Structure formats: C-alpha cells, structure tokens
Amino acid sequence: MTWGANAERREKMKRRKDNGDPASATGLVFDIQRFSLFDGPGIRTTVFLKGCPLQCAWCHNPEGIVPHAELLFQPELCVGCGACVAVCPEGAHRFEIKEEARAASAAQDDAAAAGQPWSAPVGHVLERKLCTVCGACAPACPSKALELCGQRMTVGAVMGIVLRDRGYYIDSGGGLTISGGEPLFQPAFATALLGAARAEGLHTAIETSGCGGWTDLEALLPLTDLFLYDVKETDPQRHRAFTGVPLAPILDNLRRLVAAGANVRLRLPVVPGYNDRPDHIEAVARLAQSLPGLEGADLLPYHRLGEGKRMLLGQPEDRAVSLPPDTGQVQAWKACFAAAGLDVWSAE
C-alpha cells in the first residue's frame, strides 16, 4: 500500500525555481480564506494582502495594515515549554512567575515538581521592543501561541491553493477575491494574481478602499469582474480623521472606475459613534445615485473582531472602539438607503 507522497511532494516544492514568469511574482499575504461566501458571488477563495495606507479606527483586520511580517502572540495558548526562549536571538521572550498565581500554586507544587512546566503558574512575556520579527520562535512554538503573520508567496503558490476549489467556483458562480490590507498597496502582485486567475477562467473580484494611484487601478480594470469598493465616510474632514487619508482621491477613483464601465458594488461599513449619521447615510445614497450602472451596495455593520486581533499584535485598546449595532439599527439604516433609492444588501 502507498502511504502518500509527503517527502516526494516537499522535494518537488523545493525544486520549483523562480523563472521570471508572472507566476513567480511575489506578494506579502497574511491569510487565504477558502469557502468565502461574502466577498462576491458564490463560493470564493479570498486572498488577503498585507499592507494598507489607511488607519481606520475601526479596522477589523489590523494585522493587515503594516506592510511587513508581524508576530502574533496569544498568551492563553502558551503551555510554558520555553522553546521560544531557547531559539530567540534577541531575548525577547521570558517567563515570569505571576505573584497572584504563586500563592495558588502552593498546593500544586507536587505537579510542578513532577515536571509539568505548562501547569506551573508562569506568565509568558514578549518584549516587542526587542523583537525583530526574525521568525525563529513561531515554528518552534508547539501550541500556536506564537504565529508569524505575513508570508511572502508567489502567484503560483497562491494559485496552487486557489485552484483546489475550482469545481466549487464553477458550480456556484464563485472565484477569487483579493482583499487586504489594501490590494492596491501591492499593485504588481495583485495584477499578476488576477491575471493568473483570469487565465484559469475564474471570476475575479477585488475588495479595495480605493486609496491608490489611478494607473494601478486602471491596470486591474480588464482583469477584474467585480470591484467591492469601500465608502467609509462622506464628510472629507471626518474621513481624514477616521482613516488618516483624504476622501477626494478615493471618490475620484470611484467615479473614474464607474465611468470606465467597471462592475462596482459599494461596501458601507456602519460604525456606531463614527459614521452612523443621517447626513452620511443620505450622502452615500446621493453618491450612489450619481453613479450610473452601480451594481448595488453592501452594508457592513461594525463587529468587534479587530479588537481581539489588536491584542494578538500587542496593541490593546484602552476602550472599545465601538459597539456592534443591534438588528433594529441595521434595519433602520437599510430603510434609509432604500428610501433614497439605493438597493442595499445587508449582512444582518
């Protein structure tokens, strides 16, 4: 009986050399999510590119902002084996006995003496100031308390994963979506990836904040079946305050995209305390009316996923950014958009 080609397969991967074709273009990817159902039609695989020029207060993918690899640390998964301490060249990892735990552990001394490091009351401290993100500790960590976020991948490697679900795309009308971070932050890679997907006959979509050069966006036009285009805030001052970038170029790109005949859906994050204002909702509706041929809009009510991820990045917020709206609020916004003649799909 054959037991699979594990070793062989790895050997083959090692032999694969860059040969200058687009499939060997590389990009910084922080996640590839198969069976994505809400980033365009059908069953999709969404590729998340790392790096984003915006700094939205409510960002739900904070690990996608910085354009280089980062170390994610989830202390509650740590089993205290000390493997990271052993491999870290900078001494960034250390273990501290927690005072409050010390007393509680008195009764468990026997267990600790029996050589159970994980049950010892230790606190794993990561000194991020010392960390150079060299990537040594993550593979050594057996419990995935430490993980490296952001991996340089070739178009070929990404497509190798994407194409595993080809049959599902065909049957469901799905395909590839590039998200982020901001795909326009890695325009060459995004173009190559979309080109590769097109060559395979896949439906292609891109999720973008629209913050990028028009030439880069224009290059994506012939390769992209659907643009999912964020409109985060319609008031220029607030836009700059909430996201760190000006609004005008983004709206400019949006108008040019629509004028060029692109298939566009608006993505409308609604964040209580930020943009859940009647004037914003009305402005979005007016904007939509001014864009002929717009496919529609998706309402994205705020959720708190990003808060947990900030913890993993070592950037805890001292207070909640916002709170998820309740269903009634979402329905009310929907009704506002509908009243203004905008056909809105909502996650709620």
Partner 1 sequence: MSDWRSVLVQVRAANERLGASGMLDLRPAWRAQACRESMGQPEPIVRALAFARVLREDALHFYDGDRLSGSHVGWHAGALPGDLSPAEYEALVNEWRTRGQRDFWAGWDHTLADYPKLLAIGIGGYLTHARATLQVRTAPCEQAALRGMIVALEGFSAYIRRWATAAARRGMADLAEIAQHIAAEPPRTFHEALQLVAFTHLAFESEGRYAMALGRIDQYLLPFYRQDVAAGRITPAEALDLLCHMWVKLAENGGVQNICIGGLTPEGADATNELSYLCLEATRLVQSPYTNLSARFHDDTPEAFYRACFSVIRTGIGFPAIFNDHVLIPGLVEIGIPPAVARDHCMVGCIETMLAGRQQAWSDGRYNMALQLMRAMDRVQGRDDLSFEVLQGAFLSEMRDSLAAYCRDFNAYIARFPPDLFPDPFLSALTCDCIERARDINDGGAEFPRMHGIAVMGLGTVADSLAAVRELVFEQRRFSYDELMDALAADFQGYEPMRQALVNDAPKYGNDEDAVDAIAASLVDWVSRECLKHRIDGGGWFVAAMAANVSNIPAGREVGATPDGRRAYTPLSDAASPYFGRDTHGPTAFLNSVSKPDYHRVLTGSVVNMKFEPAFFRGEQGERVFLALMKAFVRNRVQELQFNFTGNEVLRDAQRDPELHRDLVVRVSGFSQYFVQLSKEVQDDVIRRRAHGQP
Of 78-86, 100-108, 234-242, 243-251, which part binds partner 1 (CB under 8 A)? Answer: 78-86
Cβ 165 to partner 1, closest distance in Å? 5
Residues 6+ away with beta carbon under 8 Å from 220:
187, 190, 191, 194, 206
Radius of gyration for the alpha carbons in the chain, expressed in angstroms and rounded: 23
Question: Taking CB under 8 A as the rule, does residue 70 contact partner 1?
Answer: no
Nearest CA-CA partner of 325 in 281, 268, 276: 276
Closer Cβ to partner 1, 167 or 222, answer by number: 167
Q: According to CB under 8 A, which residues from 100 to 159 bind partner 1?
A: 114-119, 142-144
Reading the block at residue 195, the tokens are: 């080109």
Question: Taking CB under 8 A as the rule, does residue 301 contact partner 1?
Answer: yes
Closer Cβ to partner 1, 9 or 98, answer by number: 9
Question: Taking CB under 8 A as the rule, does residue 34 contact partner 1?
Answer: yes
Q: According to CB under 8 A, which residues from 317 to 346 bind partner 1?
A: 324, 327, 346
Return the residue of 79, 87, 136, 251 that touches partner 1, per CB under 8 A: 79
Of 89-97, 167-175, 181-189, 238-246, which part binds partner 1 (CB under 8 A)? Answer: 167-175
Question: Taking CB under 8 A as the rule, does residue 43 contact partner 1?
Answer: yes
Task: Give the Cα separation of 276 and 158 in Å (integer).
Answer: 37
Q: What are the two backbone dihedrals, phi and then psi, of residue 267, each rounded to the nearest 5 degrees?
A: -115, 120
Q: Give the count of residues interacting with partner 1 (CB under 8 A).
A: 53
Task: Give the Cα separation of 23 and 167 in Å (integer).
Answer: 21
Return the residue of 165, 182, 225, 230 that touches partner 1, per CB under 8 A: 165
Task: Give the Cα separation of 184 and 53 in Å (integer).
Answer: 9
The DSSP result for 163-212, as a single string, is GGGHHHHHHHT-EEEEEES-GGGSHHHHHHHHHHHHHTT-EEEEEE---S
Question: Taking CB under 8 A as the rule, does residue 182 contact partner 1?
Answer: no
Closer Cβ to partner 1, 175 or 187, answer by number: 175
Task: Give the Cα separation of 298 and 344 in Å (integer).
Answer: 6
Cβ 158 to partner 1, closest distance in Å? 15
Question: Taking CB under 8 A as the rule, does residue 9 contact partner 1?
Answer: yes
Nearest CA-CA partner of 126 in 310, 312, 308, 307: 312
Cβ 323 to partner 1, closest distance in Å? 9
Of 181-189, 192-200, 282-290, 305-313, which part binds partner 1 (CB under 8 A)? Answer: 305-313
Q: How many CB atoms lie within 10 A of CB 186?
A: 24
Task: Give the Cα separation of 174 and 56 in Å (integer).
Answer: 29
Beta bridge partners of 29: 49, 151
Which residues lie near partner 1 (CB under 8 A)? 1-7, 9, 33-39, 41-43, 79, 81, 83, 114-119, 142-144, 164-165, 167-168, 171-174, 298-301, 303-305, 307-308, 311, 324, 327, 346-348
